[in-house]
C-alpha cells in the first residue's frame, strides 16, 4: 500500500474535479479507521461515499492518469487485487 504525501495536494490534486478530491479525502479519512484496503475499508467507503468506485474511475481516466499519479495507481492496484 502506497500513500501520498501532503505535497501532492498542491499540484496534481488541484487539477482534479472536486468529486475526485472528495474521494481522495474520504478514503484517506477511512484509512484512519482501517489501514488496509480490505472488506471493512470498502464497506465504510460504500456507506460514506456510495459512488466512490465511479469517482476513482474518473480520477484514473483524467488526462493526468498516464503521469503515474501515486494515489490513483495504488488505489487502482488495490482494487484489482480483490
Ligand atoms: Zn488507500
pLDDT on residue 78: 62
pLDDT on residue 53: 94
pLDDT on residue 23: 93
Ligand 1 midpoint to CA 7 (Å): 16
Ligand 1 midpoint to CA 63 (Å): 21
On the CB side of 3, CA atoms within 13 Å amount to: 12
Ligand 1 midpoint to CA 35 (Å): 8
What does the pLDDT look like over 40-49, one tens digit per residue?
A: 999 999 999 9
pTM summary value: 0.59
Ligand 1 midpoint to CA 78 (Å): 8
Where do the domains of the chain lie? 8-80
Distances (CA, A) of 45 to 20, 41, 57, 60: 14, 6, 15, 18
Span 56-78, average pLDDT: 63
Rg (CA), the chain: 12
Amino acid at each position: 500500500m502506497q500513500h501520498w504525501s501532503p505535497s501532492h495536494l498542491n499540484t496534481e490534486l488541484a487539477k482534479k474535479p472536486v468529486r475526485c478530491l472528495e474521494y481522495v479525502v474520504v478514503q484517506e479519512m477511512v484509512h484512519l479507521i482501517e489501514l488496509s484496503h480490505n472488506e471493512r475499508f470498502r464497506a465504510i467507503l460504500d456507506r460514506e461515499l456510495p459512488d466512490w468506485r465511479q469517482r476513482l474511475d474518473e480520477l484514473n481516466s483524467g488526462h493526468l492518469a498516464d503521469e503515474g499519479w501515486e494515489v490513483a495507481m495504488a488505489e487502482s492496484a488495490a482494487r484489482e487485487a480483490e
